[in-house]
Amino acid sequence: MKKKSNKFQKDKPLTIFITGGSSGIGFQSVLKLISLGHNIILPCKNILRANEVLTNIFNQFPCDSSKKGNIYTPIMDLSDLNSIDSLCAEVKKKRLRIDVLILNAGLQYTGSKIPRRSTQGIELTFAVNHLSHFYLTQNLLPLINRSNYSKIIITSSEVHNPMSSGGRVGARAGLGNLLGLESETGFDMIDGSKFNADKAYKDTKLCNIIFAKELSKRLNKTSFQISVIAWAPGLVISRDNQGFFRYSRKYNQLGQILFAYLARDLLRITTSNITAGRLLCDLVCSSKYNKSDFNYYSNKIISPGIFVFEKTNISEEAQIDGLAKKLWDLSKSLIENKT
Q: Are 30 and 18 in contact (CB under 8 A)?
A: yes
Across the chain, the runs of DSSP E, i.e. the strands, are: 15-19, 39-41, 71-72, 100-103, 151-155, 227-232, 294-303, 306-311
Q: Are 80 and 131 in contact (CB under 8 A)?
A: no
- pTM metric for this prediction: 0.90
d(CA 314, CA 210): 9
Nearest to 332 by CA among 204, 211, 225: 211
d(CA 106, CA 93): 27
Q: Is 243 left (phi over 0), alpha (psi -120 to 50) or beta?
A: left
Quote the pLDDT of residue 66.
62
Q: Are 298 and 235 in contact (CB under 8 A)?
A: no
Q: Are 75 and 83 in contact (CB under 8 A)?
A: yes
Mean pLDDT per 10-residue run, the chain (339 residues)? 42 92 95 95 97 92 73 97 97 94 94 93 97 98 87 97 89 96 90 96 98 95 90 80 53 63 63 92 95 92 82 96 96 94
Domains of the chain from N-terminus onward: 13-236+273-338 (3.40.50.720)
Quote the pLDDT of residue 236.
78
Nearest to 35 by CA among 74, 72, 73, 70: 70
Q: What angle do CA 280, 136, 209 make, to 5 degrees?
A: 55
